[in-house]
Amino acid sequence: MRILVLGGDGYLGWPSALHLSARGHDVGIADNFVRRAYDLELGVESLVPIASPTERIRVWRELTDREIALFHGDLTDAAFTHRMVEEFRPDAVVHFAEQRSAPYSMIDQHHAVYTQHNNVVGTLNLLYAIADINPDIHLVKLGTMGEYGTPNIDIEEGWIDITHKGRTDRVLYPKRPGSFYHLSKVHDSHNIEFACRIWGLRATDLNQGVVYGQETDETSLDTRLATRFDYDAVFGTVLNRMAIQAVLGEPLTVYGQGGQVRGFINLVDTVECIRISCENPADQGEFRVFNQFTEQMSVRDIAETVCRVYPGRCRVEMIDNPRVEAEDHYYRAAHTGLLELGLMPHLLSDTLLGSMFGIIDRHRDRVNLDALLPEVRWRKTAANLVSGR
């Protein structure tokens, strides 16, 4: 297949592109490289050094004799988006090209507006490009389990059958997201479903849980193929952050009481989910949803697991929750679709955590301790709505 990976320079996009290329697909990546600019804005950097996009592609070509096409541009530029799709002529488009941090979207008005404009408008331009150029292209869109929130009923995979006043219908599962970032993903899902229903496009919406880990079979071939390892309180994920805190002898910071339950997935399984979705496309006119995670844990469970596995001294510290969220709630989500298509999960284990500790220890001198603690607050006052953190 010809597969175009948007956001192909990012934490998930780059290893997904390599995984698809290694499986024999013709791969192109597109990026505006703004993720690297966020690091400069926030004064942080990936724990593991990452090579330039051109060097990454060159190393991959030298190791495998396989080419990866590179497109430099922004999806909010409709003309660029159309030209790219027309030139590459993909069978599938994997869409990672969005601002992906909930805290970043909650910094202030500017960051909230930027997140929604970047994510929603970019996806709309992509939908129009697919509809205009080739409606048979399969869109594989990265969503998030955060779209659902924490409802007091079981979470289904995208759709739910309801009976109301004696009548039954199948509708999109109701969403109650917890940040302006998560809201942008909800808007994406509704726009994509509309395009499938009205224009006959086909799409797979992957509502992904929290990803952890940094290595795949492909990125491990050469240090210059490494993907990002984000640990800071804005872009870092909770398990990555706590693993770093353990190695550095810092307390593992749990927001609130730590009862928040989320779905989690290893990076190795993420790239495999992308492959499976591309190779098993949705039907024409179908808006298909998979909940992409492999296990559910609370934040407190994660902290206790890290402390149990880490060989040194480890302690947990409860801190004020900067977010507005339920800290004790019901959470049970279906996630059978990808398993039925052949996903073989890699669950969190002592071995996996041990490998993360090793990576962290080798790069411990790159950690910015100040970046580990949260500064962004969900609750805003009139004084800091526009520009405060």
Pairing state between β 26-31 and 2-6:
parallel
Q: What is the pLDDT of residue 337?
A: 98
Q: What is the pTM of this model?
A: 0.97
Q: What is the pLDDT of residue 77?
A: 98
pLDDT in tens, 199-229: 999 999 999 999 999 999 999 999 999 999 9
Q: In angstroms, rounded to a whole number, what is the distance separating the alpha carbons of residues 97 and 364?
A: 29
Q: Does 379 map to a domain?
A: no
Q: Residue 66's Cα: distance from chain center in Å?
A: 26
pLDDT (average), residues 368-378: 95
Q: Does 377 map to a domain?
A: no
Q: In angstroms, rounded to a whole number, what is the distance separating the alpha carbons of residues 73 and 290?
A: 29
pLDDT (average), residues 383-387: 54
pLDDT (average), residues 300-321: 96
Nearest CA to 179 out of 119, 228, 139, 127 is that of 119
Q: Print burial letters for 198-208: b (CB count within 10 Å at least 16), e (below 16).
A: eeebbbbbbbb
Q: In angstroms, rounded to a whole number, what is the distance separating the alpha carbons of residues 186 and 177?
A: 8
Q: What is the pLDDT of residue 95?
A: 98
Residue 19 sits in which domain range?
2-372
Q: Does 279 map to a domain?
A: yes
Is residue 148 part of the annotated active site? The answer reads: no
> Tell me, what CATH number does 21's domain have?
3.40.50.720
Q: Does 382 map to a domain?
A: no
Q: Does 380 map to a domain?
A: no
Select which of 115, 144, 270, 294 is catalytic.
Answer: 144
Q: Does 389 map to a domain?
A: no
Is residue 144 part of the annotated active site? The answer reads: yes
Is residue 181 part of the annotated active site? The answer reads: yes
Return the residue matching tokens 């909770």: 238
Select which of 181, 212, 231, 310 is catalytic.
Answer: 181
E strand or H helix at 255: strand 252-255
pLDDT tops 70 at residue 134: yes
Q: Does 387 map to a domain?
A: no
Q: How many domains, in total, are found in the chain? A: 1
Select which of 173, 185, 255, 310 is catalytic.
Answer: 185
Q: Does 137 map to a domain?
A: yes
pLDDT in tens, 234-283: 999 999 999 999 999 999 999 999 999 999 999 999 999 999 999 999 99
